[in-house]
Each structure stands twice: as structure tokens, then as C-alpha cells.
Amino acid sequence: MSNLAYLSLGSNIGDRSKNLREAISRLGSLGRVAAVSSFYESEPVEVTDQDWFVNCAVELETDLGSSELMSQILKIESDLGRRRAVKKGPRIIDLDILLFGNEVQSVPELVIPHPAMTQRRFVLEPLAEIAPEAMHPVMAKSVQELLNELPSGQVVRKL
């Protein structure tokens, strides 16, 4: 496997943990799931009038390129019942590419590193559990450093 990707997974509809486990299982068809963080419950951000999320981070070794991986991730979301009715609204599953090796790109359908990852505790806390030394290729800081720099707030608790 030639590429190392870090993904963020989240769900706030139905059996949230089961939804994450099913998505992780399906990610195995795209490469080798090398690590999975603990599950964390987190308050919604931006659109706050919705149920809390369960989130985790996954390390995926894959032969796919980033665009192909994104395409396959969108298919997994769709197959699991994801409907994009309300932007940032409730979702059965949400899969985001956070980091893809040292790749930096910005096209309408894919931005790597994920543009909001540095402000989101629900992303950085699980990611720091499995990859504290992973480097943000633009900010030249480790995931642990980014987590340590976050202001207080954003309730995230390990399940």
C-alpha cells in the first residue's frame, strides 16, 4: 500500500456507533485499516440544533489516489443511506479525508488537508490518539501540537 490517509468519521442518526463500525468495515475494501481510534461523543458544531455525534479517526493504507479515495468514500456514504438535505445537518454517516500523505490540494470536490480540521476538537482528539506525530503539511505542526493549541470549548468525551 503506497498512500497513508487519515479519515474522520461521524454519525448522529440512529445507532451512531454501529454506523461507524459499518463504515470502517467498508473502508477495508479500499485498503488496509491500520488503526482506529476510540469512539468519542461530541456536541454538534455550527448547526447546533441536532443530536450529538459519535466520531472516530481511521488510518487507512491504500493504493488509491486521493481523488479516487474521495469518490469511493462518497459511494460508501451513499450506500449507508447518507442524504445531503441540510448542509452541516444530521447525518447517518460522514467520512472526511483529513490528511493524505503530504499532499496539499484544493479543487472544488476535494481540499487536503481538510480545511477545518485544525479548529475541530472532535477531529483532532481521536486523530491524536492514533497519530499524534502526523504532520499537517501546510502548518508544519503535528496533530498533537494542533490539539494542544485549541482553545477550550467543544465538548468531546471518550466513550
Q: Catalytic residue positions?
A: 82, 91, 94, 96
Q: How far is CA 31 from the centre of its chain?
A: 16
Q: Which of 156, 134, 122 is nearest to 8 (CA)?
A: 122
Termini Cα distance of the chain: 31
Q: Max alpha carbon distance in the chain (Å)?
A: 41
Write the DSSP symbol of residue 44: -
Task: Give the span between the Cα atoms of 155 and 66, in whole angstroms.
Answer: 31
Helix (H, G, I), strand (E, B) or coil at 54: strand
